[in-house]
Amino acid sequence: MKIIKKRKPAKAIFKVSVDFINEYREKYGELKEGQTYHLLRNSKQEKETSYGDIKNFITDIIEDDLQKHLSKTLGTQILDIRVTGDYPGSIELVFVVLFSAYQFIAGLKDFYDNIRLIQSFSSKYIRKRLNDKYGDVFGANTYIEYPTINQYDEFFWMFEKRRMPFIFQNLGNSNRDGLFYY
């Protein structure tokens, strides 16, 4: 009987930044802790909202709703999403996404693709939920903190791992169909 060692879940860390859109930023400045704001809700009535209420609403979106939404949208099992920290100024929250252990069966490229999709879908979903509650007042952006992904990493990692030189050379007018390096 073989003992199957269970892998640790894969982890990705994101930062979401929420702030006023331009016209509200001119009126109120940046979001600041301890401040209250008079915002027009969807019913066109001005209601008082505090920084803490907005931050708690965004935290609830991330921890409760985002996991269900991403699991359904991406079709992958997301084990947990937790807010691990916040920073002053505009609302900046750091959250961790844990993937199931079987995520690596599809490969590293699929893992990076899922991370990029989470980045895209989470900012859109948070912005949508904020618009539903407060109107078109806030902008939300999600950034990848870990693992670091550059646009060239996915292509060049193969050559760097094999210690193969990868140099584009102008071969001029060659009659060859291709050049293969082993």
Domain ranges of the chain: 11-151
DSSP string, 68-103: HHHHHHH-S-EEEEEEEEEETTTEEEEEEEEE-GGG
How do the residues of the chain divide into helix, strand and coil, expressed in percent and rounded to 5? 40, 25, 35
Share of the chain above pLDDT 70, in %: 66
**pLDDT at position 47 over 70:** yes
The predicted structure's pLDDT at residue 112 = 77
Chain centroid to Cα 74, Å, comes to: 13
Total-model pTM: 0.72
Mean of the pLDDT values across residues 5-11?
A: 66
Say yes or no: domain 11-151 is CATH 2.60.40. no
For residue 52, the surrounding DSSP H or E stretch is: helix 51-60
Maximum average pLDDT range among 8-12, 54-58, 94-98, 150-154? 54-58
Q: Is residue 139 within 8 Å of 18, Cβ to Cβ?
A: yes
Q: Looking at per-residue confidence, does 111 or 152 come out higher?
A: 111
Radius of gyration of the chain (CA): 22
Q: Looking at per-residue confidence, does 3 or 91 come out higher?
A: 91
Q: Is residue 91 within 8 Å of 19, Cβ to Cβ?
A: yes
Read off the tokens for 132. 């539903």
pLDDT tens-digit series, residues 32-44: 888 888 887 665 6
